[in-house]
């Protein structure tokens, strides 16, 4: 039996990963639906989705309602529409560039991570990171397909410091990337062994 087959993750691990993926994705999508209903309302004069006006500004598709406190002095629920990536990165980039980056990233995550998971790559931190990263990618991609933008609503209280508004999918992605880095430190890629100085004796 090869070393790859010995470390291949079984059906139980795959089921646990898929259950976690479903729970994380549901939590993200459900929280965004709450934000749409509770923190915004219809905009009768909305402009094309994620298309800047003559002054270069992006108009909201829905009108924000007053913010709500989540944790007094720490977190607020504030409606925002993000045309960029996690934490508003690439927000002002051209539409074709955003579509290319988001599409490649989502496709890569959806294919590469599950294959690496099943093959047994990494340790426990890697296994924990896979459903988090997939859920974050699926949640934000779902928003882009349905709305043309990503719904953000979690805001660090501006009295503490200025930080982009984010969502649950962004939290999953941040934790997932952190676990991947931890896994890299705990399970470094072994170096390729050097060739023996003398060739082995032929088998007779």
Q: How far apart are CA 137 and CA 116, in angstroms?
A: 17
b (16+ CB within 10 A) / e for 184-196: eeeeeeeeeeeee
Give me the catalytic one of 28, 143, 170, 183: 170
Exactly one of 28, 152, 157, 183 is catalytic; name it: 152
**DSSP assignment of 46-79, as one string?**
--STT---TTSPPPPSEEEPPPEEEETTTEEEEE
| 152 catalytic residue (yes or no) | yes
| Residue 81, SS3 per DSSP | strand
Helix (H) or strand (E) holding 150: strand 150-156
Closest to 57 in 3D by CA, of 33, 11, 22, 91? 91
Active site (catalytic) residues: 152, 170
């Amino acid at each position: 039996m090869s070393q790859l087959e010995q470390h291949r993750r079984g059906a139980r691990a795959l089921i646990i990963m898929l259950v976690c993926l479903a729970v994380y994705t549901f939590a993200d999508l459900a929280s965004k639906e709450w934000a749409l209903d509770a923190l915004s309302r219809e905009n009768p004069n909305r402009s094309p989705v994620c298309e800047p006006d003559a002054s270069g500004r992006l108009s909201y598709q829905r009108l924000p309602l007053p913010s709500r406190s989540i944790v007094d002095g720490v977190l607020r629920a504030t409606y925002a529409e993000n045309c960029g990536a996690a934490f508003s990165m690439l927000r002002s980039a051209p539409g074709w560039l955003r579509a290319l980056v988001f599409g490649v990233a989502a496709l890569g995550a959806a294919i590469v991570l599950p294959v690496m998971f099943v093959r047994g790559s990494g340790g426990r931190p890697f296994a924990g990171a896979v459903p988090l990263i997939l859920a974050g990618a699926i949640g934000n991609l779902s928003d882009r397909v349905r709305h043309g933008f990503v719904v953000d609503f979690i805001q660090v209280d501006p009295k503490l410091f200025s930080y982009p508004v984010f969502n649950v999918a962004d939290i999953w992605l941040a934790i997932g990337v952190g676990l991947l880095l931890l896994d890299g430190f705990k399970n470094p890629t072994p170096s390729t062994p050097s060739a023996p100085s003398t060739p082995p004796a032929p088998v007779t």
